[in-house]
Structure 1
Amino acid sequence: MRHKPFFRWVLTFGFVLFACGMGISTVQPEPELVATRQIDLAVVEEKSDGTCRVRWSDPYAKRTREGAYHCDPTRSSWLKAPNYGDSRGYGQESGFMYTEGPDQGNLEDPQADLKFKNDSDPGGVVLALGILAVVVGLIGGNLRALPRVLGVERQLVRRAAALAEAAGWAAEDYGRAMEAAREAGQQRALGPAPDPELVRALWVLREAGPQAHPAAEAALELSARLTVLLEEAAPAAGLRNRLQAGPSARDAAEVAVAELRRLLADAERDGLQERFAQASVDLLRGQDAERAALAAGADFERDPEAYRRLFEELTSQAAAPVPHGRRT
């Protein structure tokens, strides 16, 4: 299924909101300030949530006024009735009174002022939403990408290990078959009645076909290269390995992973893993000695000249190195 960049769009949307919030805050006019001064209030009635009725002296109307107010419910209990030393049994609170404008002499309501500030600052709201979207996009995108990247690299390392194993088997099986044929032919000649062991060893190489030798050489070279790269790419095989590795090891792992990706692409294009597996199957047919001996004897009687040519070729290459691999 195709990857959908959800968090990338969230991040983009967050940046757009952030820019809009900055723009709105820049062009929004500053609120008009009204002069106030702090005065003492006598709390006539008070509830636990801060709702109360207070009295204060209005110097502009030259009278004592009473009205609803929102007291601070967290202020000291010594300022609340009946602990406050007021002969009338009132509590004490402080507030701000307007000293000019149409509300002169009225109290400033802290709750209404807070609501006005929140409602009159759309730029701040948009800015906060933009910051939240950016944070969600960054964190969510990284958390989503981390297992995906590590999973891809882990899977890549596993595929490379499987290819190295198949290459090692092919090289080892071909080397074993060549050694068996050479050992059987060291002190024997391929006469009219050749030794059954020699015929069986030659039959295995004959069944593998002429493509077995180049496949074994390619397998040996590729196996050696993959072994080195897999050791270097070990930190990429999981999050724990990545965290335990140092900076230089992680850098080397990135280079090794890139090379493994290239080798795997080439191997998949050329069908190397299938060729190595088929070569191993062909070279292991001689393990059933009794059945292989019967098949080799019948095949030798059918075409002895082909066996003699193969024996001569093998004898002439006696000094040539035999590909060897190591099963992992």
Structure 2
Amino acid sequence: MRHRPFFRWVLTAGFVLFACGVGISVVQPGPEPVATRQIDLAVVEEKPDGACRVRWSDPYAKRTREEPYHCDPTRSSLLKAPNYSDSRGYGWESGFMYTEGPDQGDLEDPEDEPRFENGDPGGVVLGLGILIVAVGLVGGNLRALPRVLGVEARLVRRAAALAEAAGWATGDYARVVEAVREAGARGELGATPDPELVRALWVLREAGPQARQSAEAARELADRLAVLLEQAAPAAGLRNRLQAGPAARDAAEAAVAELRRVLADAEREGLRERFAQTSVDLLRGQDAQRAALAAGTDFERDPEAYRRLFEEVAAREVKALPGSGRRGRG
């Protein structure tokens, strides 16, 4: 599925809005506070924490109003009831009344933020831009993290597994050929040949010429994968990526791309299954007693084929990959 850079466009839109918000804030004058004027308030009730009820004359509604208010509890006690010289026994406080807008005649609460006649569109656009930029950055990184770390790490593990299977096939073939040469050094294929030599040759005959072809292909692939896996090591996990330098990360990206192509070719050709089957075929000699009986019978039927195969093996140069022996396989 093709990757769609959704969060890249989100990030771009966020930066555009951010720039527009800055431009609007520079061009447009700042918002002005809603007009108010100071008035006298009669404190009808008051608690020690400053919660109170006040009365004031609303000239716009042309009536006396009474509402809860927050008085200043630290003002002088002479301004509080019953010390204040009010014939009704009320205290005194001052406040600000709105003279414009929909709240005209209302009191401004001292604990509220100041109100403005018009909003700040530049600030709104700027805030929206910052929010969208944050979404783009977080979303893009969260989306990229599995793709960069998870997918590439799995790809490296698959390549390592394929290289291991190739190493097994190469090592198994080299082991059988070495067994033939070691046994051949102790004796030739005469009237009474060495049973170990016959058994080793029988394993090669049973595996067939495709075993040699598979081993050669496995060695070539393993050599190629060894180089690519070394270069792709920074892509195997977050820790490796953080420890690698810029040049190593660039090389890792190129190696991962090549590994992806190599794995696709190997999967299409069924190389891993082919290498596994080669190893199974070359392990037939592990049951020494059974293999010796089958090898002896087959040798008596066609000794010339064994002699030709022995001559081919003696003239052939076969090398095992480092660490491609049977150790560690379970």
Q: TM-score range by the shorter chain?
A: 0.7 to 0.9
Contact 2:173 / 2:212 at 8 angstroms: preserved in 1?
Answer: yes
TM-score, L = length of structure 1: 0.73
CA apart distance, 1:198: 1.1
Q: Give CA-to-partner distance per residue, 1:52-111, whole Å, 9 cap, x none.
A: 4243697x9xx9x843467456x5x2138787574445242331463x99999x456469
Alignment of 1:92-171 (within 5 A): 92-96=93-97, 98=99, 106=105, 109=108, 132=131, 134-171=133-170
Q: Give CA-to-partner distance per residue, 1:267-320, whole Å, 9 cap, x none.
A: 222222112111111111111111111111122122222212111222333xx3
CA apart distance, 1:39: 4.7
The sequence identity of aligned pairs, in percent, is 60
Look up the SS of the partner of 2:94 in the other structure.
strand
Alignment of 1:222-241 (within 5 A): 222-241=221-240
Alignment of 1:1-328 (within 5 A): 8=7, 11=10, 36-39=36-39, 41-45=41-45, 52-55=53-56, 66-68=64-66, 71-72=69-70, 75=72, 77-79=73-75, 84=80, 86-88=84-86, 89-96=90-97, 98=99, 106=105, 109=108, 132=131, 134-317=133-316, 320-327=317-324
Structure 2 counterpart of 1:94, one-letter code: G
Q: Matched residues in 2 for 1:187 and 1:199: separation?
A: 12
Contact 1:223 / 1:325 at 8 angstroms: preserved in 2?
Answer: no
Residues 1:79 and 1:115: Cα distance change in structure 2 (over 3 Å) = closer
Contact 2:180 / 2:197 at 8 angstroms: preserved in 1?
Answer: yes
Q: Matched residues in 2 for 1:315 and 1:262: separation?
A: 37
Contact 2:176 / 2:204 at 8 angstroms: preserved in 1?
Answer: yes
Look up the SS of the partner of 2:304 in the other structure.
helix
Q: Matched residues in 2 for 1:231 and 1:196: separation?
A: 43
Larger mean CA deviation between 136-145 and 79-88 belongs to 79-88
Structure 1 counterpart of 2:65, one-letter code: G
Residues 1:275 and 1:228: Cα distance change in structure 2 (over 3 Å) = same
Q: Give CA-to-partner distance per residue, 1:28-73, whole Å, 9 cap, x none.
A: 9999987544455454445779674243697x9xx9x843467456
Look up the SS of the partner of 2:65 in the other structure.
strand
Larger mean CA deviation between 214-223 and 32-41 belongs to 32-41
Aligned residues: 314
Provide structure 2 residue ranges, at least 5 long, that are not aligned to the other structure: none
CA RMSD of aligned residues (A): 4.6
Residues 1:51 and 1:160: Cα distance change in structure 2 (over 3 Å) = farther
Look up the SS of the partner of 1:313 in the other structure.
helix
Provide structure 1 residue ranges, at least 5 long, that are not aligned to the other structure: none
